[in-house]
Structure 1
Amino acid sequence: MTEQLHDAAALEAQAAGNTAEGAKEARRPTRADGRATRAKLLDAARTIIMEEGTDRLTIDRVIKLAGMSKGSFLYHFPSRDHLLEALVDDYANHLADVQTSLEAASPDAAHPLLASYLAWYEQFQEGEIDQGSSPLVALVMASRRNRRFLEPVRSWYRHYFDRLEAMSAQNAPDAAYAPGTQGCDKTEALLLTLAMDGLFFHQLFGTDVLTNEERAAVTGRIAVRSGNSKGMRKTAKK
């Protein structure tokens, strides 16, 4: 009987040990936990630079806003510069995701890439994408000491322009479309893209003084030239 009790106690102790080990294992951070922590730190940093500027971006302010430890921060970002690089990478990935989504939604346009770029501007201007705000200006300011920070964004734009040229050449291999008709050649497609960038940056810098009618006239012309006039919307100034 004593031997049986001893064996039972041993088994119970072993089970308790296994349970404790299992609990310890369950408390170990997972990859998902790591991604969530990194995302939370990036969100906090993005909030700071958009609301207060990059000069106010410090490690202490980020971890306080994110509710994280300094050790967690340094695990993901060894320095402030590494954090800035990650913010730019994250923004470039965001650009790619939005472009892909909007292009897929414009399959019937004669020039889907240009049509999706127009849809992007219109939805951004109306606050439907990113609530009408962007960290790009703050990131550009942060890169004034080190231009390599913006390389992911420059690479995204270069990729977009290369695709724009290829798609335009496919649509109009021999000559530009006649004025007033749908579609455009590669040079006009580039000009229209830069015109939309101008509208976008005027909004970001707070220098947009166009009336609703003036803005609608510009975006309407771009919609016609991209072959997506049926899908255009009236752009309303916020």
Structure 2
Amino acid sequence: MPRPPAARAKLLDAFITILNEQGERAATLEAVATAAGVSKGGLLYHFGSKDALVDGLMAHLVDLADEDVATMRQAPEGAAAYYVRSSNFEDSALDRAIVAATRLSQGENAAAQQALLRMQQGWLDALTDEVRDPAVARAIILLGDGLYYRAAFGGKVLAASTEEMDDLLGIVRRIVDGGATA
């Protein structure tokens, strides 16, 4: 994936930051331009409207999610273990884009809802390919969602410890290998 121009990337990052820290109402074109250190005309050169800015963010999210799915599919420990282990909010570019898209999705933004669904489907497809059972793949997704929610909204204090993560990964391995009990 070619890197976007620096100004475009700065604008997307500013938009994400404002969405995440202040919400959708605060994410005006003027606020985004100011936060990115560009003129409103500079913003409009890259994104002709707020809808175009949202579309740019959703394309960015989809690109990041596609990269994550590719990494997941190639993970030496397997897709399920990778998914669970990486289901921790770490303020990465993907995490920040997910939270921003979720903010927009809560406001019933169809583009955000579609991008989030596409991201989730990519993860589900990768898991289903490994475990061969869609219900088991969904259960793993829900386990990861719980870990992510706990870390994102509860802070580092509630993030899974190394021991807890090892225990969860042991359970996931047993599920993937076909025996849900010890």
CA change 1:156–1:209 in 2 (3 A) is closer
| Pairing 1:100–2:63 present | no
CA change 1:161–1:224 in 2 (3 A) is same
Alignment of 1:122-201 (within 5 A): 124-125=88-89, 127=90, 130=92, 133-143=95-105, 144-169=107-132, 185-201=133-149
1:157 Cα deviation from its structure 2 partner: 1.8
Give the Cα–Cα distance (whole angstroms) in 2 for the partners of residues 59 and 198 of structure 1. 34
Q: 2:81 aligns with which of 111, 115, 124?
A: 115
Q: Which letter does structure 2 place at the counterpart of 1:199? A: L
CA change 1:217–1:116 in 2 (3 A) is closer
Runs of 4+ deviating beyond 6 Å? none
1:197 Cα deviation from its structure 2 partner: 1.1
Give the Cα–Cα distance (whole angstroms) in 1 for the partners of residues 92 and 126 of structure 2. 24
Residues 84 and 143, structure 2, Cα contact 8 Å, conserved in 1: no
Give the Cα–Cα distance (whole angstroms) in 1 for the partners of residues 160 and 40 of structure 2. 48
Q: Which letter does structure 1 place at the counterpart of 2:104? A: A
Match of 1:26 in 2: none
Give the Cα–Cα distance (whole angstroms) in 1 for the partners of residues 94 and 30 of structure 2. 28
Match of 1:220 in 2: 170
Give the Cα–Cα distance (whole angstroms) in 2 for the partners of residues 83 and 131 of structure 1. 17
Alignment of 1:58-77 (within 5 A): 58-77=28-47
CA change 1:152–1:131 in 2 (3 A) is closer
> TM-score, with normalisation over the residues of structure 1?
0.60
1:97 Cα deviation from its structure 2 partner: 1.1
1:210 Cα deviation from its structure 2 partner: 7.4
* Structure 1 runs not aligned, ≥5 long: 1-30, 170-184, 228-238
1:226 Cα deviation from its structure 2 partner: 4.1
Give the Cα–Cα distance (whole angstroms) in 2 for the partners of residues 40 and 205 of structure 1. 26
* Structure 2 runs not aligned, ≥5 long: 178-182
Deviation per CA, 1:71-102: give whole Å up to 9, x if none.
22112211112212221221221122123224
Give the Cα–Cα distance (whole angstroms) in 2 for the partners of residues 153 and 96 of structure 1. 12
**What is the percent sequence identity of the aligned residues?**
27
Alignment of 1:7-22 (within 5 A): none
Residues 99 and 117, structure 1, Cα contact 8 Å, conserved in 2: no
Worse-superposed segment, 89-98 or 131-140: 131-140
CA change 1:204–1:60 in 2 (3 A) is same
CA change 1:59–1:201 in 2 (3 A) is same
Q: Which letter does structure 1 place at the counterpart of 2:149? A: F
1:68 Cα deviation from its structure 2 partner: 1.1
| Pairing 1:78–2:58 present | no
Residues 44 and 66, structure 1, Cα contact 8 Å, conserved in 2: yes
Q: Which letter does structure 1 place at the counterpart of 2:154? A: G
Larger Rg over CA atoms: 1
Give the Cα–Cα distance (whole angstroms) in 1 for the partners of residues 72 and 160 of structure 2. 26
> TM-score, with normalisation over the residues of structure 2?
0.76
Match of 1:40 in 2: 10
